């Protein structure tokens, strides 16, 4: 099961700059862009302890360092130490929380492409 819910808690997260090489995201083109247009990914890691306990990751659409959208949180619990997320045109802040909804350490590894062979086995979320 994969889906999203609004996140009402507080999260500082890690800001990732958007990819100016792709079209702006709209309600209409989002599904297409997600699967075919967004070729840039951000790679993150969490500690072994956090991965073992399980975490959810989320995002906050941002612009100029300010939240411009509703924070969203995955409903699925993950246990991967390293994972990738797609990067759209707009800046975005990514975060992770534990079972109690408290933010946990999310470390930015690098911004790269989906085709980067070094991360080929890393889950793409």
pLDDT band at 2 (very low <50, low <70, confident <90, very high): low
Spatial CB neighbours of 53, under 8 Å, sequence gap ≥ 6: 98, 99
d(CA 88, CA 100): 29
DSSP 90: S
pLDDT band at 77 (very low <50, low <70, confident <90, very high): very high
> What confidence score (pLDDT) does residue 60 get?
92
Question: What are the pLDDT digits (tens) for 103-118?
Answer: 999 999 999 988 888 8
pLDDT at 66 over 80: no
> What confidence score (pLDDT) does residue 70 get?
87
* CB burial string 52-82: b at 16+ within 10 A, e below: eeebbbbbbbbeeeeeeeebbbbeeebeeee
pTM score, two decimals? 0.88
| Architecture of the domain made up of 4-24+37-119 | Sandwich (2.60)
> What confidence score (pLDDT) does residue 6 get?
93
> What confidence score (pLDDT) does residue 63 get?
73
């Amino acid at each position: 099961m994969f889906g999203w819910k609004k996140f009402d808690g507080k999260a500082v997260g890690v800001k990732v700059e958007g990819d100016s090489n792709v079209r702006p995201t709209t309600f209409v083109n989002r599904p297409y862009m997600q699967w075919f247009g967004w070729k840039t990914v951000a790679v993150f890691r969490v500690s072994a302890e956090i991965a073992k306990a399980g975490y959810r990751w989320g995002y906050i659409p941002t612009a100029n360092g300010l939240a411009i959208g509703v924070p969203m949180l995955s409903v699925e619990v993950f246990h991967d130490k390293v994972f990738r997320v797609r990067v759209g045109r707009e800046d975005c802040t990514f975060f992770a929380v534990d079972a109690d909804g408290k933010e946990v350490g999310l470390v930015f590894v690098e911004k790269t492409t989906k085709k980067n062979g070094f991360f080929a086995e890393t889950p793409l979320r």
